[in-house]
Structure 1
Amino acid sequence: MTGAGGTRLHKWKDAMREAGLIDTLVELADTLTGDFDLIDFLHLLAGRCVELLDAEAAGVLLAHPHGRLQVVASADEAPEVMELFQIQVEEGPGREAWLTGAPVSHPDFAAGDTPWPRLREMAATAGYSAVYAVPMRLRDENVGALCLFKSAAGEPDQESVRAAKAMVDVATIGLLQARVVQQREILVEQLQTALNSRIVIEQAKGFVAERLGVDVAVAFGLLRGYARARGRRLTELAGEVVTRSANVQDLFGGAGTTE
């Protein structure tokens, strides 16, 4: 369609995409509250990319803590589509975008100059002609990449690139926020465990001091030395002392551990 009608249609499509993008950003932000489901969150991102952007397939690759990418979400779970994302653990724009922290694209697999021959073959089989990837990056931290495949050759339109970056930025903030929350929860759990352990150790010290007629400093030294000599954890040993376990009877010599 050309002329005024074509212009109106183009403006209408732009307006619809902008509205859809706004709704998606709100939805992604809302999903981040509380104990959100990370996998469902990333599937939502991939699905909205296919709905709103210049792409027919979308997938999210995240970096494992040990430095290896893995596919965590795709808008299409068909085996041939999943293979397109899985291969990028080793080669492809998704991997390059993650490593470099910059967008990567290839406008035409048929041109034959792609640096990823295996990806080109798989893409052609699946019916895709072009690909582009956006890094999931916040400041200097790269956590992965969003990869999109197009059925038609050509670079993605700039509106799609900007929209993809906006959604990826929200998703990346969400991922890093979840990591911080998880680390904080682990720290709280570790601190609580340490506090609980300390209580048990204090009880064990008091019991040993009373049974052996020594002060608590000496009692603690005996507990610690006994644990080390037998390759035991001090907290576990203290727990057995508190529960009057027969396993630690020799700690008391002739005094015993029972009332």
Structure 2
Amino acid sequence: MSREQKIAETFVELADTLVADFDVIDFLQQLTVRCRDIFAVTDVAVLLAYPGPQLYSPAPCDPSPTLAAVLDLALGSGPALDAYRTAAVVSPGNLASAPSAWREFTIQAREAGYTYASAVPLRLRHETIGSLLLLRATDSPLPADDLTMAQAFADAATIGLLHARTLEVADTVNEQLHTALHSRIAIEQAKGFLAAHRNTSLDDAFATMRNHARRNRLLLTAVARHIVDTGDLPLPSAASPRRHPADGVAND
């Protein structure tokens, strides 16, 4: 598949939120997977400010402890927080000359091997709901065209999330956002287990989980928890809750 085809597919996926069985965890995970696949970045993470004004990280693309440590500090300083607060793209260049206000984030990021860090806001008009953090471990910054496209993805994702929040399924979406951090942990554990068990990549393991959830109309988090608990994908009748707004995410 060409890069242009991947970009077109991504926009279609980001627009596909006006459905009764919308799964916000699946949506955020797929956004990070697509960004890492299309752009020349090492890692990607979504940081949300919901509920309340503080950022948290529901959907990193990699479950490594190293990235987790970087994201913990990104919540308090660095490009992701600045992009959220200013509702503007933040791409200052090499982390070796990053702003002094980013000191703790910069130290952790450089120790993890990252050389460049950029972020774009998740925004719609006057409302900003978070940011998209793009980490790079190369000798050059993210190309300007990629950063522009990343902002377009972030804008489309924000529109999708806000539209989903205003529909009949608003309570379900809000609850999923509220529990996204805990859901992410289960998903990353399941990805790692499935990848090791099937001798495949983390991205392929995630695709297997996601396709199984969609094919059987199950929440992605329900599939992940079943894998963690039993070691295998659930049968259609063995996992709950179903992907339906009335069911909510009480078990997540």
TM-score, normalised to structure 2, is 0.63
Q: CA deviation at 1:128?
A: 0.6
| 1:106–1:155 contact (8 Å) kept in structure 2 | no
User: What are structure 2's unaligned runs of at least 5 residues?
Assistant: 173-252
Question: How big is each residue's C-alpha offset from its partner over 1:33-76, in whole Å with a ceiling of 9 and x where there is no partner?
Answer: 22211111101001111100121100000102321111010111
Distance 1:32 1:52, change over 3 A: farther
Q: Secondary structure at the match of 1:106?
A: coil
Distance 1:64 1:184, change over 3 A: closer
Q: Report the equivalent of 2:89.
A: 103
1:136 to 2:122 alignment: yes
- 1:48 and 1:184 map into 2 onto residues whose CA distance is 25
Q: CA deviation at 1:185?
A: 6.0
User: What are structure 1's unaligned runs of at least 5 residues?
Assistant: 1-14, 187-259
Q: Report the equivalent of 1:253.
A: none
1:158 to 2:144 alignment: yes
- 2:85 and 2:166 map into 1 onto residues whose CA distance is 22
Q: 1:123 aligns with which of 109, 124, 137?
A: 109
- 1:172 and 1:179 map into 2 onto residues whose CA distance is 10
More helix per residue: 1
Q: Report the equivalent of 2:2.
A: 16
Please, which moves more after superposition, 70-79 or 173-182? 173-182
Q: CA deviation at 1:32?
A: 4.6
| 2:92–2:98 contact (8 Å) kept in structure 1 | no
- 2:148 and 2:127 map into 1 onto residues whose CA distance is 20
Q: Report the equivalent of 1:86.
A: 72
- Whose radius of gyration is greater, 1 or 2? 1
- 2:36 and 2:88 map into 1 onto residues whose CA distance is 21
Q: CA deviation at 1:154?
A: 3.4
Q: 1:170 aligns with which of 131, 139, 156?
A: 156
Q: CA deviation at 1:113?
A: 4.8
1:29 to 2:15 alignment: yes
Q: Percent identity?
A: 37
Question: How big is each residue's C-alpha offset from its partner over 1:102-134, in whole Å with a ceiling of 9 and x where there is no partner?
Answer: 001232122365531111111122111000000
| 1:106–1:114 contact (8 Å) kept in structure 2 | no
Q: Which has the higher contact order (CA 8 A, sep 6+)?
A: 2
CA RMSD of aligned residues (A): 2.1
Q: Secondary structure at the match of 1:28?
A: helix
Alignment of 1:42-57 (within 5 A): 42-57=28-43
- 2:159 and 2:91 map into 1 onto residues whose CA distance is 23
- Name the amino acid aligned to 1:133: A
